[in-house]
Amino acid sequence: MIDLALISFMREELATTPTKFVRYMASEIPWDDRMIGLVGPRGVGKSTLVKQQIIY
């Protein structure tokens, strides 16, 4: 069974994700593929990019 606290946490994460700034490469990522990999140094916005894609 899915933990309701986890669902609540993820809804809050998505609600607080900034959407004003979108990375310029976001349109180049094949979001419809079964699996994608985002690599890069820490703190460059990989997780935020994925969260923004979930919101849109």
With beta carbons less than 8 A apart as the criterion, state whether 51 and 14 touch.
Answer: yes
Q: Which domain holds residue 13?
A: 4-55
Is 70 exceeded by the pLDDT of residue 5? yes
| Residue 1 clears pLDDT 70, i.e. is over it | no
Both tokens of 41, joined, read: 């140094």
Q: What pLDDT, on the 0 to 100 scale, is given for residue 24? A: 85
Q: What is the pLDDT at residue 3?
A: 85
Q: What is the pTM of this model?
A: 0.76
Nearest residue to 33 via CA among 8, 53, 13, 11:
53
First-residue to last-residue Cα distance in the chain = 27
Q: Which of 24, 22, 46, 23 is CA-nearest to residue 36?
A: 46
pLDDT in tens, 12-45: 999 998 888 888 888 899 999 999 999 999 999 8
The domain tally of the chain equals 1
